[in-house]
Amino acid sequence: MTRCDQEMGGYSTVNFDYDELRKMGHFHGYLNLDLPKNNPEITRSGYAMFRTKDQKESWLSGNVFWDWSNFQSLVLRVRGDRHGSEINKLEVKTVGIGLLDKQYGPYSLDVDWIKVMTGAEVEKVADKSRHERLSILSSSENENNSGVESDIPIGNGGSALNTSKNQEPKDTVF
């Protein structure tokens, strides 16, 4: 499910497509901060997002949350911003990514997968990701050998939710 400020008269665009060639999702569009001309109550504009659909409410308890209590992390394999955030893993109804950075212009984020994982699995993924980044850096340096520094971080990776449980990983959530 995608949404943007067009719902309230804004001018941003949002798309989420599946790229057959690269076998991943592509979240993209144009962020426009201009206020809607026909709605003076709107004082801020410029957002785009995607998220999973709402789960059907339980007839017993009403709200339905995904049970991620046996997992330590929500891990996203994306190409784009590398910021992480903590979440309350006991009250997750949907998963999504929003763009609210107050900057005009195009945006693009490739989404390979989104999974819940345990600490052991997160470390494996972080190690693989570090090796891929190092490989990209070294092949880039060998190709042009211009001495230009890359903006690709080579940090330790890690999880957004650090706990000590060690369970088996769960497959992709959507």
* Across 25-29, 102-106, 162-166, least confident range: 162-166
Judged against a pLDDT cut of 50, whether residue 150 lies above it is answered with no
CB 5 within 8 A of CB 98: no
- Distance of CA 19 to CAs 3, 49, 95, Å? 20, 18, 20
Q: What is the pLDDT of residues 13-68, one digit of tens each?
A: 999 998 898 888 888 889 899 998 888 888 888 888 888 777 777 777 677 777 77
Other beta carbons within 10 angstroms of residue 121's beta carbon come to 21
13-19/24-31 β-pairing: antiparallel
Answering whether pTM is above 0.85, one says no
Q: What is the pLDDT of residue 151?
A: 40
